[in-house]
Amino acid sequence: MNPVDPKNRAATPVHAADSKREQRARPTLGPVARQVAEQYRRDTMSPVMVSGVMRIIEFCVLLLPGFAIYAGHVGLSTHLSLEYPLVIAGVSLLSVILFEFSDAYQMPALRNPMSHAGRIFLCWSSSFAVLLVALFFLKISEEFSRLWLGAWFASGLGVVFVLRLVTSRVIRRWTRNGRIERRAVIVGGGKNAELLIRSIERQPYNDIRICGIFDDRDDRRSPPIVAGYPKLGNVDELIEFARIARIDMMIVSLPITAEARVLTMLRKLWVLPIDIRLSAHSSHMRFRPRAYSYIGSVPMLDVLDRPINDWDSVAKRAFDILFSLLGIVVFSPVMLATAIAIKLDSKGPVLFRQKRHGFNNEEINVFKFRSMYIEQCDPTARNLVTKDDPRVTRVGRFIRKTSIDELPQFFNSLSGSLSLVGPRPHAPTAKAENRLYDEVVDGYFARHRVKPGVTGWAQINGWRGETDTEEKIRKRTEFDLYYIENWSLWFDLKILLLTPFRLLGSDNAY
């Protein structure tokens, strides 16, 4: 590269100006706020996930003594070798369902099992009562061992209580260590925030950890310390705080009647992948009971839920692993042939690594097959590829046109930095008509409330390739947000199956 080339000289100050503008636009956290954010960088275990895993474990624990006594006392080779396993599975499943309806899987019950001992005994007894009535009406009660039924009833009840005592000790230790909790920040200070915090802290077996307070008002109107919690910054700094700390919930403590101020805050904060709740504890307005969610007995209005959360995230991760492995196996001959072609066509490595925006605006490394000459590669994607771009190699034109250059991203999906389906990851410095994407689209970063994907709803609807106009990035974001709000595993499967057919016929990739 010629250092005196006037094009190169012209590019330098523009890039420097862009960098300075990006730094100015990004709020700077104070030292206290940054220290608190770093303290909460580690992920926690969701109480919903803990309760769900407990249901599975308890179902298996109830099965075990039933099968063990059946094998030891009755024998596996009886003429009822099918009926016994069905009865064991049915009673165990019914018991778990009854435990669920009696709130035995709520965190207070798991922390203090003895307070729910009567309910557990009643549910387990009810399951056996249903079994006995069914056997009586089917006229097959004589064929089942009374000793087996009695021994399973007693041993099943015993193992459940032992399991719950052990679980309560583990949960209490995890709660003390901060491994199982819901982290919340309060938006809005003053008297409303103090009343809210006091109300939350009075809740027994509270799993909410308040990390701090954010308020746009100065210290004269909003005290720097409220109920012992520091004010860490304003609403813009909250967005930067939530990029570092693993926050689960944001509670707006402003009065519902302050409509304009609440809406102004929500326009800024809805881009974050967190639950947003509006505190209703001090409001005189009353809604239907179903309109509220609760922290203990503190009422909240649900403004926004985190997309693809808890068990949905488990299902999506399993989907990614399964189909990523399948894709790697199916396309391994294509990837091998592509690697050989790239090496023969031009010098340089086969793979190309590029920085992209990932979940919650974090930067990730995305892998692609190299499609440009090595000395002209653009790791920042500052200059998007255009039609007949001279930087693209002969092999590169073909693999970009057919999207074969994206196949290494199966490994990104397998490792967890990408999902198979989601909004396509964009480079941090990518532009449309010389403007950064977030300057063109209001709420652009809401795309990052979920993991980016190897393919997406926008891509199979024709919005892929060059974003040389602002309209293209607006439409792409519109389709991405539709996907986030309407996600399901069936939707993912539909997009995945349509991808090869839609992309091969596309004229937008160069």
Q: Is the pTM of this model over 0.95?
A: no
Residues of 47-77 as b/e, b for ≥16 C-beta within 10 angstroms? bebbbeebeeebbebbbebbbebbeeebeee
| Alpha carbon distance 208, 181 (integer Å) | 6
Q: Residue-wise pLDDT tens for the chain (510 aa)?
A: 333 333 333 333 333 344 444 444 566 788 888 888 888 888 888 888 888 899 999 999 999 988 888 777 765 555 556 777 888 899 999 999 999 999 899 888 888 888 889 999 999 999 999 988 888 887 776 777 788 888 899 999 999 999 999 999 998 888 888 788 888 999 888 888 888 888 888 877 677 889 989 988 877 777 888 888 888 988 888 888 988 888 889 998 877 666 777 787 887 888 888 888 888 765 555 555 566 677 767 888 888 888 888 888 889 999 999 999 999 999 999 999 999 998 888 888 888 888 888 888 888 888 888 888 877 666 666 666 666 677 888 888 888 888 888 899 999 999 989 999 999 888 777 777 777 777 778 778 888 889 999 998 988 888 776 666 788 888 888 999 999 989 999 999 999 999 888 776 555 554
DSSP 183: E
Strand partners, 278: 252, 301
| Alpha carbon distance 422, 442 (integer Å) | 19
| Alpha carbon distance 47, 439 (integer Å) | 38
| Alpha carbon distance 167, 113 (integer Å) | 9
> Helices then strands (H, E): number in the chain?
17, 14
Q: Within 10 Å of residue 24's Cβ, how many Cβ atoms? A: 9
| Alpha carbon distance 265, 277 (integer Å) | 12
Residues of 417-455 as b/e, b for ≥16 C-beta within 10 angstroms? bbbbbbbbbbbbbbbbeeebbbebbeebbbbbbbbbbbb
| Alpha carbon distance 105, 117 (integer Å) | 12
